[in-house]
Structure formats: C-alpha cells, structure tokens
Amino acid sequence: MKPVFDKSGLLTTVVCDARTNKVLMVAWMNEESYALTKKTHQTWFWSRSRQKLWHKGEESGNTQEVVSMTLDCDFDTLLVSVIPAGPACHTGHETCFFNEVEMEE
C-alpha cells in the first residue's frame, strides 16, 4: 500500500494523540519524510514555508513517537497517531488548534 502524493509531491498529514485521539497538528510529508517516519518511528515533514525537510522536535525537543499510521480511503491523506514528548504547537499549546470560531446563531 503506497500513498498518493499530490502534484507537488506532498501528502496532507494529520497528527493525533494516540492516548486521547485529539488532533494536534496538520503538516505535509514528501516521499523522503514519509520514508523517514516509517523508518525512525518519529514524525518528519516537508516544511512548505522553509522548503526543507523537518524532523518534528529537532530543535524544541518535542518529538512525536509514532504509534500507527493510517491512509484514507483514496490513499492521499495520512493520519499519524503519536505519543508526543511535549506540546505540538510552537506557541506552547498542546495542540495547534486553539482558535475557536464563532458559529452563527
């Protein structure tokens, strides 16, 4: 089973906490970071803003230990279930998703 990378060679990736299922972050993998993640059991991404390979936690120490990886029904989106060593977000929040949107009544 192989992932389908998009035209830019990227795979949309959702990272969730294996213990709570909480979504921690969304990032993109290229073929190299996907291979490194499978091999090292830690998350690697392709940073679209910095245009470079990115080992999550390499600077902050907040690595993510991979418990399992699952592709979606058409193989073009990846869910990675992890045990995080610290906050996923560079702001120090546990998860990058903390800006609540107000719904219309």
**Distance set, CA 91 to CA 68, 71, 94 (Å):** 26, 28, 9
On whether the CB atoms of residues 32 and 40 are closer than 8 A, the answer is: no
Given 18, 22, 53, 62, the residue binding a second copy (CB under 8 A): 22
String of contacts with a second copy for each residue 31-60, x by CB under 8 A: -------xx-x-------------------
- Residue 79 in the binding site for a second copy (CB under 8 A): yes
**18 near a second copy (CB under 8 A):** no
Residue 81 near residue 66, CB atoms below 8 Å: yes
Selection from 10, 19, 74, 95 nearest residue 44 by Cα: 10
Interface residues with a second copy (CB under 8 A) are 1, 12, 14, 16, 20-23, 25-26, 38-39, 41, 66, 68-73, 75, 77-79, 89-91, 93, 96-104
